Amino acid sequence: MVLSLLGAGEVHLVEADRRKCAFLREIARETAASVQIHPVRIEQLENLEADVVTARALAPLDRLLDFGRNLLRPEGVCLFLKGRTVERELTLLPPEPKMRIDTFQSRTAPEGVILRIGGFSQ
């Protein structure tokens, strides 16, 4: 929602919980945010070719990457907010020669890290 309010372009929100979707719709209406809300599990979302996929507190990194691969256009990137387990999650990833991972320290959480991941094999 915040990305839409900041003018990030076309924003899709994926939320399986119908009550949370109703909340998101109300916030979008009150703020005039231009978002498309998908009331499905992320695994069920199809035919989306996003420039950026972002998630917070959704799944371990390996599963997030699977979701990202399925939703990104070839040149797209993932931005994932991770916490204390980020180093362990990174070491568990299978090697992927073209994948690039950049890490950035969170400005709001001392143990938080933002991962920018791109260069996926298609």
User: Smallest Cα–Cα separation from 42: which of 58, 57, 61, 26?
Assistant: 58
State the amino acid at position 35 in one-letter form. V
> In CATH, what is the architecture of 48-122?
3-Layer(aba) Sandwich (3.40)
Helix ranges (DSSP H) in the chain: 2-5, 18-31, 61-71, 86-91
Residues of the chain short of pLDDT 70, as ranges, are: 121-122
Q: Break the chain into its structural domains and give their ranges.
A: 1-40, 48-122
Collect all residues with Cβ–Cβ distance below 8 Å to 76 and sequence separation of at least 6: 49, 50, 51, 52, 53, 68, 118
State the amino acid at position 15 in one-letter form. E
State how far the Cα of 115 lies from the Cα of 9, in Å rounded to an integer: 21
List 77's β-bridge partners, or say none. 52, 118
Residue 57 has a pLDDT of 82
Is the dihedral angle over the CA atoms 108, 3, 56, 103 positive or is it negative?
Answer: negative
